[in-house]
Structure 1
Amino acid sequence: MTGSLRVAMAIGDAGGIGPELAAKVLADAQANAGDLMILGDRRILERGAADAGITLDLPVLGLDAIDGDLPAGSFMIDLGNCDPETTPQGEGSLNSGLASVQNFRAALLAADAGYAGAVFFTPFNKSAMRLGQPDYVDEIGFIDATIHPRESGREFNVLDEVWNARVTSHIPLSEVASRITEERIFDSLRLTDKVMRGAGYERPRIGVAALNPHAGDGRNFGTEDEDIIQPAVERAAAMQIAATGPIPSDTVFVRATKGEFDAVMTMYHDQGQIAMKLIGFDRGVTLIANYPFPIVTPAHGSAYDIAGRGIADLGATRNAVMLGRRLAALEERAEQGEAPQVPLSQLVRKALDTSVTWATAS
């Protein structure tokens, strides 16, 4: 198997349902197509398997055994970085946060070097990750600081019925209006069109949500919809992007789920997230796109309240792995990559090195 067809899988927060979901992925015929490279602590994966009532038969490699030919099929690289004896379930901790950071960084570095064509991670918890890396803000800033891409990425939420793109994401609600500009909306529309075409949509139809109630109601409830959003939509339409809006946000998802739009672009995080999770909480996928490889995860969180109980639903996690695999296959057909040049053990050791300063990009 070439690296471009492998999925690098980072085990998420050890205090939550991430290890259980990782074990369930490995035991699921749809999710595990024999192409998974799991990065994390073997003992945490074993705890997740015990919670799920699963017995795993998986090759496990130490750092001294990963610079030759990698095994055919799925396998694990044991980072030995999270002792379950000192990592409680049901809460975040320094151990779980630091291991999450290291697992994610190792997966990103491996994919960036060509050892995998996609990155997948089970749910993280940002508060715990900040215990391990105080400047951690969100995944996009972390990815940028880790692989130094030419362009930053954007988050998309994906359901079979509809995609959700955002103009702003992890910022306070009080800052949203000041961050929305015509240029930013226009760039977001171009990127959404590009990413969805790469995912197989011939000409994705994008409904653009208004910022204000009733799309401003003729400027009675704000001017942003007419002065900022509408000009950006018109510019996109002039470039043959199938964008429509601004549309009142209390109806745009209704129209999308009835088949009028393939995607909804929202102005801020919860404007889209609430709708998407109501439509399909147990199926939704977060896609981080516009990087050299797709990065995917289930759209739900680490669920500390059910950790260790073996009842975590696999639906969104399975969908995430399958979407990452499909996008990686499309990208491989479009452009064949070169064989990796940097030894994998060197990349993983770098990811584990706590003496390195990893500044999170702003």
Structure 2
Amino acid sequence: MQGSPLSELLDKYVTGSLSEAEKKELAGMLDNVSAQEELQALLQASFMDDRYEAADNTELQTSLHEFLQQHMDADALQKRSAPLRRLLRFAAAAAVLLIIGGTAWWWNTKHAPANQTEITIAKGDIDPAKSSVTLTLGNGQQIDLEGSPDGALTTEGGAGIVKNGSLLSYNLQPSSDKIVYNTVSTSYGSQYLLELADGTKVWLNASSSLRYPTAFKGAERVVELQGEGYFEVAKNAAQPFRVRSGTANIQVLGTRFNVNAYAGDPLRTTLLNGSVKINGQILKPGQQAILDNNDQVNLTEAGIEEVMAWKNGLFLFNNRPLPEIMREVERWYQVKVVFAGPVKGRFTSTLRRNIPLSKLLRTLELTDEVTFRIEGNTITVKPVTQ
């Protein structure tokens, strides 16, 4: 896709170097239904390109608006198929966002069809929730990791506990027979990295917790997860690694995998490489195990990029139902979501996780399936009647 004619024209389009002849060529491509999928993928990729974030060129903005008015007028859109109308409206809004750093959604607010309502923000926008991470020691003492200075924090159960920025690590010290458990908990909008005493690394997503011994003793290395975590397990065939979460029991020798175990959602274990066994079922790299309500394991091919998007600072929705997306929104922005009616559509988008909530919601509104209202920390979701 990169290096294609459409890709090259789009790059020139958002950087302001498109010639008149190339504008005509791009306009022709915008009318070509066969280019829809490539155009959408390129625009979504462009959202992640830092070159476009700081652009601030008034003349270019004006030119862009005129170009969109000429080639994406509302009357013409109404005559096209619904999928193409949605794509072109997304293209226009995305292009403007890239050029002016998100300060306007010109197409969506000025040229939306009659049944498309601009998102209503009653009391200001909402940023991702303030990061808060807590370490609970074996004696019940709690330490605010965000507010603690770097360096040695304490010693428990034969391990020294050290904080270094967003990393908490455990250094083995003279052996102690006593097993002491620690717990790290993340709040809304928070993520954290742990390096356990055996060298295993665990990334925790928002609203998650991991309980683990400060030093691994005995025949197994066992940790307990709530929420979501990505594991890079240090190899030790003589001491297998296990993750327990609800009714799931995940056994590992040395591998990289992600566990999504939020309450209310089916537990999903995704294997990147190596080998894991969940409730007796062996996974292969690239597979995802879904644990149903009857504790039965169902295997499917995994979308690795989507699964790992949270760790890479992204929202990546690939044909996802809106209730599932909004549960992720609740955990990241510390909001309450209320549905005013059922929303049947599925949604695809890629956005950074550090954006204000309104930008994420506006992107979802471009589907013509739904509108939103922000009032305090409550988001009301209303389906659009087509």
TM-score by length of 1: 0.27
Quick check: which has more Rg, 1 or 2? 2
Task: Tell me which protein shows more helix as a share of its residues.
Answer: 1
